[in-house]
Structure 1
């Protein structure tokens, strides 16, 4: 790929298209464009996550970390219409397309924002993510250390990671950082990991002075 999908302002020429997300409980037709993650089809990892993850909390703030054009966030918004869903991404083109997809789907309980535009005081009842593994280990670790501590007490994150891209080592690293992590599903070389919010008495990994583990 000549340009990574995690560029803030993709330079790839626009080439609009649509993809279908078909799940047992919903069918979304989503607009996509060049310069974003998996523009030609819903990524298989995303599909594995959405087909195996438990239902999202019915209320509260929910987060799709690395939302792209919105398949995960829009599924959360559809499944939990009384919740407030946030989709966060660095890619401005993807955020604009995701907003279009929310409008087309009639989902008004979801917002798509850059990370700096989300209040740092917000705490999330759930985080779902197909994280951007290809940004590199150090950057990925930094991203997770920034957002996982923002889980509300009793909340959990669900991450889908391809086995050959380091799902097992990521699980070990998360455990070592104090984020209790369990594998809840395995399909087509993808692992779905559940990361529980730390208990109120447990020290937060984000409070340590050490940098991300390499």
Structure 2
């Protein structure tokens, strides 16, 4: 996601410099963005898994963990990921990470996957990024769905679980996290601003 955000920042700078009639610096930003995009697609695509590496060039090699962060390479306004990879990434994310109330932070196939967010602080922290479902990640997932499949892809239905959750736990709000397996017990903050905001944004995006 850091690379995806960096690429977006470069494209935004390019646009703003264009609008300011600074063609020299705009061209420099354009070149930097193209280099970043080319390097990203060359290094992060994992053909063996059909999704993106989580981290590359680590001391012990590239990390093939399947995480939701890769959606930002598709969902941001300027997608750093080449279109030819959008559908396989989305298919993998749907198969391994999507739940009715958000996205798992790690694939269940990973040996360090934690299906529940319970216990003392240390136990919960150990599970926070290792499988626990984050509600706000429904946002980038919906953005990616709309970009890849369009409005006829049943996008609105993926929000049904969180809409139903508004009548549970803290009424009218969205919980921060959920267990990664049914019944997807909510945890963390009972009224998380980014979860509420992303659900509202997605409802507006998919409103007809």
* The structure with more helix, counted as a fraction of residues: 2
The verdict on a shared fold, with TM-score over 0.5 as the criterion, is no
TM-score computed with the length of structure 1 as normaliser = 0.28
In terms of Rg, which structure is larger?
2
